Amino acid sequence: MTRDREYLSFDPSSCGFPPPRVPVLPLPGRHAFHWQRQTSTKALLDAPNARFFSRGRYALAHAFRLSGVGPDTALLAPAYHCRTMLDPAIALGADITLYPLQANLEPDVDALEQLLRNKSRRHAALLVTHFFGIEQPLDAIEKLCTQYGLALIEDCSHVLFLPSLPSTIGKRGKYAVASPYKFFPIEDGGSLWANHSAPLPKSSATTPDLIAQCKGVARTLQKARRNNADIDLTEEVGHPISVSTDADQPKLHRRQISNTASHQYDANVDNLAGLQVSRQLMLHSDIERIAQRRRGNYQKWAQAIADLPNCKALFPDLASDCVPYMFPMWIAHPEVDFFALKRLGVPVWRWDDMAVSDCSIAMQYRTHLLHLPCHQELTMDQLQWMTRITASCFTD
C-alpha cells in the first residue's frame, strides 16, 4: 500500500523566466525524414512482444502491473528520478523503496542488497534507468533480481535504439520501456516490450479517435512551422542577470506530503495508444542522422565547458554505442547559475520535483545537475548561442 512520502518541488512561477529561445526537444524539420521505413523502429511499434502507448509513463504502468507491482508489494526505484517514474506504481497502490546511486548514477549495489535483506516489504520489481542514454552495468543487478525473485524492468526512456550499433540495453530486463517522443519529432509515444518470453497480453489499447488524430497532425504541422521560424540569437550577452537573495530562494522549493500520483499522470489514459502521425514519423525518421547529430552536439557541449570553472560534464565521453538524450552538466552554484541561464532564455531542464530520500547524490543532483539539449534539430547557430551564453555565466 502506498505510504505518505515527502516530496521537494521547485516552483518557478514567481521567477519571471522567459520562454526558452531554443527548443528543448526536436521539432519536425525537412531533413529529418526519408521514405524508407526503419526496421528497428517498426520493431518497437509492431513486434509481437511490443506495445505502443501515448507516453512512456503509461507503458511503465503496464510493465509494473505485469510484474506484480500493486497494493501488497513494493517497487525499488532509483533515488534520482523524474516523478513520472514513480507515478505508475503509486497509481497501482504500491509502496516504493528508493535505492541510492553513486556519483556516476550507477546503482549502489551494496546498499541495494541491504534494502532487499529487509523483509518488512515484499518487493515485486526493480526499476533500473539508463540515465541520459548511458548503459547501466546490470550483471550484479540481475543476480540480485534472481536471488530475491524480482522482475527487472529497464527504463530506456533516455535511449535510442540504433541498428548499426548493437547493444544489450533493453534486452536484459523482463520488461523494458522507452519514450520515443524524446528522440523523434513526434507528438507522443511510449513503448513497452517483453523479453525472455515474459507474458504480454494482446494489446487492448484504445485507439485515439479521429478528432484526436487530426489535432495531432495539426500540432505537428504547427511545430514544423515553428522550427523554421527565424529567432534572433545575435545579441551580445553582458553580465549575468542578478537573482533573488539567498534568503528568498528557499521559498521557491516546496515540501509536500503525498501518497497519490502527481498531476502529470492521468490514470484515465493509461491504456491509450499513440497517435498514427507519431507512428508514421517514427517509421520514416532517419535514425542514423539522429544518432550522428546528437553525438556530435553532445561532444560540442563537452568541449565548450571543459575549461569553465564551477561546472563539469557528468559524462565527458560517450561509449561508441551511446546516443545521448541530453547533455548532463553539474554546476557548483545552482542558486546563481541556474537562474542566470533560465533568465537568459537557455533551455535548461532538471529533475527538481523529486521524492526525498537518504541518497545524498540524488538530493544534490536535484538542483546541481542540469539537462541541456543536444538533439538532432539544433542548428549550429543555436548550439553556438547556448554554449556562448553558458560560458558567459560561468566566467563573469
Q: Give the three cell numbers for residue 372.
A: 541541456
CA neighbours closer than 13 Å in the CB half-sphere of residue 258: 19
Question: What's the pLDDT score for residue 67?
Answer: 97
pTM: 0.92
Question: What's the pLDDT score for residue 164?
Answer: 57
Q: How far apart are the first and last CA of the chain?
A: 51
User: What is the average pLDDT across 71-77?
Assistant: 96
How high is the mean pLDDT of the chain?
Answer: 89
Going by the DSSP 8-state scheme, the letter that residue 15 receives in this structure is: T
Q: What is the DSSP string of 55-83?
A: BHHHHHHHHHHHTT-STT-EEEEESS--H
Question: What's the pLDDT score for residue 166?
Answer: 61
Question: What's the pLDDT score for residue 222?
Answer: 84
Bridge pairing between strands 175-178 and 151-155? parallel
Question: What's the pLDDT score for residue 239?
Answer: 44
Q: What is the DSSP string of 307-325?
A: T-TTEEESSSS--TT---S
Rounded to whole angstroms, the Cα distance separating 174 from 171 reads: 8
Question: What's the pLDDT score for residue 245?
Answer: 45
Q: How far is C-alpha 192 from the geometric centre of its chain's CA atoms? A: 15
Question: What's the pLDDT score for residue 125?
Answer: 97
Rounded to whole angstroms, the Cα distance separating 349 from 345 reads: 12
Question: What's the pLDDT score for residue 306?
Answer: 96
Nearest by Cα to 89 from 118, 63, 113, 56: 63
Which tens digit of pLDDT belongs to each residue from 110-156?
A: 999 999 998 778 999 999 999 999 999 999 999 999 999 999 999 99
Which tens digit of pLDDT belongs to each residue from 150-163?
A: 999 999 999 987 65
Which tens digit of pLDDT belongs to each residue from 242-270?
A: 444 444 566 799 999 999 999 999 998 99
Going by the DSSP 8-state scheme, the letter that residue 245 receives in this structure is: -
Going by the DSSP 8-state scheme, the letter that residue 354 receives in this structure is: E
Q: Does residue 227 have a pLDDT over 90?
A: no
Q: State whether residue 137 is helix, strand or coil.
A: coil
For residue 239, count CB atoms less than 10 angstroms from its CB and return exposed for 0-12, middle for 13-18, buried for 19 or more.
Answer: exposed
Could you tell me where the beta strands, DSSP code E, fall in 236-283? 253-258
The dihedral sign for the CA sequence 87, 92, 96, 99? negative
Domains for the chain: give ranges and CATH numbers: 15-194 (3.40.640.10), 286-395 (3.90.1150.10)
Rounded to whole angstroms, the Cα distance separating 116 from 123 reads: 8
Q: Does residue 201 have a pLDDT over 70?
A: yes
Q: Does residue 44 have a pLDDT over 80?
A: no
Q: Give the three cell numbers for residue 329.
A: 552538466
Q: Which has more pLDDT, 68 or 32?
A: 68
Q: How far is C-alpha 391 from the geometric centre of its chain's CA atoms? A: 25
Q: Give the three cell numbers for residue 145.
A: 533480481
For residue 396, count CB atoms less than 10 angstroms from its CB and return exposed for 0-12, middle for 13-18, buried for 19 or more.
Answer: exposed
User: What is the average pLDDT across 310-338?
Assistant: 95
Question: What's the pLDDT score for residue 29?
Answer: 75
Q: Give the three cell numbers for residue 33.
A: 525524414
